[in-house]
């Protein structure tokens, strides 16, 4: 049985990965901070899919949490899903620096360190896959540092995939648009202005991601709506993109 470790596995996109992979008979290692919720998620998955589920409570914004997940990854897994993430309430430069650094730790440092921890085992076996959850926002400037942190994830994933291109290890950045999860509420964001047709379902995002991973894509943009939006976005000059970001910020 292959094993997958998923960070942020108790809600939203991470929970959808857990359901999808359990249905594919993966053994799971679930990472998140809330221990009770982890245990409940694990029980539900075991009951429904009959797979083995380990829980690993860890806060990826702390040294202790990162070290414990690194240590589990060194024991070997077949698939790592770096999914845990969040948005800070407020815009740059009003967000306290401690919150900005926490985001960089979870979105960038954790992704780097967990990748480095899992890779030696994958290289030894010459197989494995890493999915790093970024965002469609990674391709545009914005009023917060969120998109900058997610741009790092795309560049890092593509660079790692290139470096490993002679191996059978796949690295892919997943770049979804707006997904109905707990994300916006947790970040105290008012999402009421986002039109209904831009919302995606977490299960659809994960299905598309796993299909793209099997196809060997290095960047996955689920759903045709966002493929079109990103293609149009690429045609808009950067100066105009910056103007739009400035308008949104003020």
In the complex, which residues of this chain contact ligand NAP (CB under 6 A)? 7-14, 31-34, 37, 59-61, 83-86, 106, 133, 135, 176, 178-179, 181-183, 186
Q: How far apart are CA 141 and CA 163, in angstroms?
A: 27
CB 220 within 8 A of CB 172: yes
Residue closer to ligand NAP, measured from CB, 166 or 225? 225
Residue closer to ligand NAP, measured from CB, 167 or 178? 178
- 146 tagged catalytic: yes
Cβ-Cβ contacts under 8 Å for 243 (sequence gap 6 or more): none
| Minimum CB–partner distance for residue 51 and ligand NAP (Å) | 18
Strands 219-220 and 169-174: parallel
Of 204, 218, 205, which is closest to residue 169 (Cα–Cα)? 218
| Minimum CB–partner distance for residue 74 and ligand NAP (Å) | 19
| Minimum CB–partner distance for residue 133 and ligand NAP (Å) | 4
Find the catalytic residue in 26, 49, 146, 226.
146
| Minimum CB–partner distance for residue 33 and ligand NAP (Å) | 3
Residue closer to ligand NAP, measured from CB, 3 or 83? 83
What tokens does 217 get? 């894509």
89 phi and psi angles, rounded to 5 deg: -70, 135
Residue closer to ligand NAP, measured from CB, 92 or 123? 92
Expressed in percent and rounded to 5, the helix, strand and coil fractions of the chain are 55, 15, 30
Active site residues: 146
């Amino acid at each position: 049985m292959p094993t997958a470790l998923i960070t942020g596995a108790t809600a939203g996109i991470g929970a959808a990965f857990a359901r999808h992979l359990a249905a594919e008979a993966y053994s799971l290692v679930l990472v998140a901070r809330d221990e009770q919720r982890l245990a409940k998620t694990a029980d539900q998955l075991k009951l429904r899919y009959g797979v083995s589920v380990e829980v690993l409570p860890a806060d990826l914004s702390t040294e202790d949490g990162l070290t414990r997940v690194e240590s589990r990854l060194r024991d070997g897994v077949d698939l790592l899903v770096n999914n845990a993430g969040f948005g800070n309430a407020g815009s740059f430069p009003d967000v306290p620096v401690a919150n900005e650094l926490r985001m960089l730790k979870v979105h960038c440092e954790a992704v780097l360190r967990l990748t480095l921890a899992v890779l030696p085992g994958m290289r030894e076996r010459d197989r494995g896959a890493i999915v790093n959850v970024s965002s469609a926002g990674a391709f545009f400037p914005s009023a917060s540092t969120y998109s900058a942190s997610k741009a790092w994830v795309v560049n890092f994933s593509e660079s790692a995939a290139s470096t490993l291109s002679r191996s059978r290890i796949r690295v892919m950045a997943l770049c979804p648009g707006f997904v109905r999860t707990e994300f916006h509420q947790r970040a105290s964001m008012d999402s009421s202005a986002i039109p209904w047709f831009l919302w995606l379902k977490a299960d659809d995002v994960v299905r598309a991601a796993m299909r793209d991973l099997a196809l060997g894509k290095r960047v996955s943009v689920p759903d045709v709506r966002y493929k079109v939006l990103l293609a149009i976005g690429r045609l808009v000059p950067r100066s105009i993109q910056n103007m739009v970001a400035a308008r949104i910020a003020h």
